[in-house]
Amino acid sequence: MSVKIIGSYLSPYVRKVLVALHLKGLDYEIDPIIPFFGDERFAALSPLRRIPVLVDGALTLSDSSVICQYLEERYPQPALYPADIDERARARWLEEYADTRMGEVFIWQLFNQVAINRFVWGTKTDEAALGRTLAEEVPQVLDYLETQLPQQGFLFGGVSIADISLAAFFRNAAFARFRIDAGRWPATAAFVERVLGLEAFGRLKPFEDRLMRTPIPQHRAALAELGAPLAAESYATPVPRRGIMRI
């Protein structure tokens, strides 16, 4: 089985879906666009102009959590959601926390300032806003995670959607040169290191690292050199446009 994923390897939401696909042993082909560069065909598939988009035959889905739940239900083994009802609910909550609160802080307030603004819109980093994010918003997130994460292993025994969702955002934080203070947040630092150390995350790392060093118009060619499973058709356009939602 092979599905099509539309969205850049640099997105934590795309990263979550690709890790889930790998853990379930499912192949994919990818149109690695940054959503701001999606054309009208992309907008028709993703009316909120967000990534990832999954195309599986006649089915199109455009939300990472919906996509992962669909994959779980269609391909239930190995399971990425806990069997216990209470634990499954908690896993979904932590996934939601990652997608919303961590998305706001780590993507729109941190990664946006140091990468998106510069490389997509050609604007300078707002150093004051970045400073507030690092001093106030990021510590609030880490304080909460420190109360939720295990000292060893994963959240619910085996690797779950919650582990994947939370850890995915710390790759973007690293791109923004942020590192967790292990003295202040030891459980969180160790947990992120364990999860990002999984082979499913590691196999994406060469693509991500290359893209961070490559101008956006050259992303597809750079990925082709690395052997990424590129889709034959791309919905990319050379001129960016802003989306209709931030997260």
| More confident site: 87 or 125 | 87
Task: For the beta carbon of residue 244, count every other beta carbon within 10 angstroms.
Answer: 10
Alpha-carbon distance of 119 to 215, in angstroms, equals 8
pLDDT exceeds 70 at position 119: no
Average pLDDT for the chain: 92
Structural domains of the chain, with CATH:
85-200 (1.20.1050.10)
- Residue of 247, 186, 182, 237 lying closest to 43 (CA atoms): 237
First CA to last CA across the chain, in angstroms?
Answer: 30
Contact of 120 with 240, CB cutoff 8 Å: yes
Reported confidence tier of residue 14, pLDDT bands at 50, 70, 90: very high
Reported confidence tier of residue 214, pLDDT bands at 50, 70, 90: very high
Contact of 60 with 54, CB cutoff 8 Å: yes
pLDDT on residue 1: 58
Contact of 57 with 74, CB cutoff 8 Å: no
pLDDT on residue 123: 73
Reported confidence tier of residue 247, pLDDT bands at 50, 70, 90: very low
Of 16-25, 98-107, 113-122, 142-151, the range with the lowest mean pLDDT is 113-122
- Residue of 244, 235, 238, 240 lying closest to 32 (CA atoms): 235
pLDDT digit string (tens) for 191-207? Answer: 999 999 999 999 999 99
Of 20-24, 174-178, 236-240, the range with the lowest mean pLDDT is 236-240
pLDDT on residue 28: 96
pLDDT exceeds 80 at position 70: yes
User: How far, in Å, are 11, 12, 52, 125, 226 from residue 110 at the CA level?
Assistant: 13, 13, 20, 10, 28
pTM here is 0.93
Cis peptide upstream of residue 78 (ω within 30 degrees of 0): yes
Task: Please tell me whether residue 197 adopts helix, strand or coil conformation.
Answer: coil
| More confident site: 35 or 16 | 16
